[in-house]
């Protein structure tokens, strides 16, 4: 265990500070080189430079009070407006920026809880969702006192709407679908889920944190897409992460509501202290303007044509990787990828541990997510991978052969950590 760090008696010079920081990240995955199929997204050096410079310029601005920083009020309004066409929002649509998909999901749950508490006096709220829906809904339930009713998925990994119907009741405040769900990358039957919510007067949230940009452009590229956004009757809110396939700096997501009334239940306001009126649109109070400015800058820098091009690159890379796995003797796709998420396991788990493959990929300098059940490896393919798939394929083949030879179980890993 490393020794505890103490504050230096005298401040260090800047060069020493930055040299130390570079040393600390020596063993980090090289995501700028396209070696990460999770956690980091890269549209290329020019877009990355724009993202980082915008973040630097606004890193000290504080979105807690846009009276002091009206630039951030305008930036948020512009970003929300620019996402409306992606998310199928009408002119009545209204939203906020958040710090990420987890906060967007938290706010969707809070809004549903508070609306139904006010309008129907529900005091023992529950939400109904498939087992494939993001873990952040569990966090939201724990934070806001909303019971989770998770149901199994169908054989194709999509939400079992009939099973969801059996557990919805008069205390249900939220029904959830994903576009796509993260684990296997398939899009739920959003019209059926939204209809179920509407029948019971509950909110319906679509988690499109992964697909909110990609699905909008796949349709433009002529690929068949299922109905998934606010154009679907009964959908009350939807989330999209800009720091994923929007390629902005970390800390940027949007939650969009069908109208301002639904959005009104997200905020928090109080004057019950000695500091004056306090209002906040989300979990955070103080919020750096850096991620907000980065989102605004990158979206304007890339433009509609840029996102169309990047989506095409990411989708083609996904299909290339899917074909490689389909043709593998030892690996099998869990589902045909509907966007740019891809999940695969071992054809013969008794002979090959995919977690062992994951260990070997890590040793070769590649990072992929590990999932269970069933034991799987997961790749979030983005634009940086458009010319990396063959290189990754060679590493995957080598890792598979080594794992077969070693016959080791490998490490299950974690999607998120407490460290």
Q: Where are the domains of the chain?
A: 52-299, 303-406
Mean pLDDT of all residues in 203-222: 97
Instruction: Give the pLDDT confidence score for residue 246 in this predicted structure.
Output: 98
CB-neighbour burial class of residue 416 (10 A; exposed 0-12, middle 13-18, buried 19+):
exposed
Average pLDDT, the chain: 96
Instruction: Give the pLDDT confidence score for residue 412 in this predicted structure.
Output: 79
Instruction: Give the pLDDT confidence score for residue 3 in this predicted structure.
Output: 81
- Given pLDDT bands bounded at 50, 70 and 90, which one contains residue 410? confident
- pLDDT of 59 strictly over 80: yes
> CB–CB of 357/404 below 8 Å?
no
In whole angstroms, what is the distance from residue 112 CA to residue 226 CA? 25
Instruction: Give the pLDDT confidence score for residue 413 in this predicted structure.
Output: 74
> CB–CB of 243/291 below 8 Å?
yes
Higher pLDDT, 416 or 214: 214
Q: Give me the long-range contacts of 396-399 (CB less than 8 A, separation at least 24).
A: 396/324, 396/331, 396/357, 396/361, 398/360, 398/364, 399/357, 399/358, 399/360, 399/361, 399/363, 399/364
Domain 52-299 is in which class? alpha beta
Mean pLDDT of all residues in 130-140: 98
- pLDDT of 416 strictly over 70: no
Instruction: Report pTM.
Output: 0.94
> CB–CB of 168/128 below 8 Å?
yes
Instruction: Give the pLDDT confidence score for residue 417 in this predicted structure.
Output: 63
Mean pLDDT of all residues in 244-251: 98
SS3 374: coil
A 10 A CB-CB count for 8 gives 9
In whole angstroms, what is the distance from residue 156 CA to residue 177 CA? 15
Go through 24-59 and write b for each residue having 16 or more CB atoms within 10 A of its CB, e for each that does not: eeeeebebeebbbbbebbbbbeebbebbeebbeebe
- pLDDT of 31 strictly over 80: yes
Instruction: Give the pLDDT confidence score for residue 1 in this predicted structure.
Output: 63
* CATH classification code of 303-406: 3.90.1150.10
Structure tokens at 218: 């796949």
- pLDDT of 249 strictly over 90: yes
């Amino acid at each position: 265990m490393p020794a505890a760090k103490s504050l230096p008696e005298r401040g260090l010079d800047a060069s020493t500070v930055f040299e130390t920081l570079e040393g600390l990240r020596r063993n980090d995955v090289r995501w700028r080189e396209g070696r990460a199929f999770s956690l980091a997204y890269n549209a290329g050096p020019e877009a990355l430079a724009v993202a980082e410079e915008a973040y630097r310029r606004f890193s000290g601005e504080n979105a807690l009070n846009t009276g002091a920083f009206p630039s951030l009020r305008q930036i948020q309004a512009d970003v929300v407006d620019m996402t409306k066409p992606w998310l199928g929002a009408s002119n009545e649509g209204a939203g906020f920026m958040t710090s990420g998909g987890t906060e967007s999901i938290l706010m969707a749950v809070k809004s549903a809880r508070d609306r139904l508490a006010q309008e129907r006096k529900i005091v023992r709220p529950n939400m109904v969702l498939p087992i494939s829906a993001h873990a952040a809904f569990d966090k939201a339930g724990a934070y806001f006192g909303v019971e989770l009713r998770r149901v199994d998925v169908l054989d194709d990994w999509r939400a079992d709407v009939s099973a969801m119907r059996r557990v919805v009741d008069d205390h249900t405040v939220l029904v959830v679908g994903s576009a796509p769900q993260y684990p296997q990358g398939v899009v739920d039957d959003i019209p059926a889920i939204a209809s179920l919510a509407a029948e019971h007067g509950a909110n319906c949230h679509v988690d499109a944190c992964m697909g909110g940009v990609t699905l909008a452009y796949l349709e433009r590229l002529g690929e068949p897409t299922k109905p998934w956004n606010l154009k679907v009757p009964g959908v009350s809110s939807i989330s999209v992460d800009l720091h994923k396939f929007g390629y902005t700096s970390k800390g940027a997501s949007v939650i969009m509501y069908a109208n301002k009334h639904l959005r009104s239940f997200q905020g928090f306001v109080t004057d019950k202290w000695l500091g004056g009126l306090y209002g906040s649109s989300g979990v955070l109070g103080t919020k750096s303007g850096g991620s907000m400015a980065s989102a605004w800058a990158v979206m304007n820098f890339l433009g509609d044509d840029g996102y169309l091009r990047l989506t095409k690159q990411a989708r083609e890379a996904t299909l290339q990787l899917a074909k490689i796995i389909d043709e593998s003797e030892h690996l099998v796709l869990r589902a045909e990828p509907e966007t740019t998420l891809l999940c695969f396991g071992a054809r013969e788990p008794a002979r090959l541990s995919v977690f062992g493959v994951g260990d070997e990929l890590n040793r070769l300098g590649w990072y992929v997510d590990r999932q269970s059940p069933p034991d799987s490896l997961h790749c979030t393919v983005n634009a940086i991978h458009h010319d990396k798939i063959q290189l990754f394929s060679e590493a995957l083949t080598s890792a598979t052969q080594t794992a077969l030879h070693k016959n080791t179980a490998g490490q299950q890993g974690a999607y998120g950590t407490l460290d």
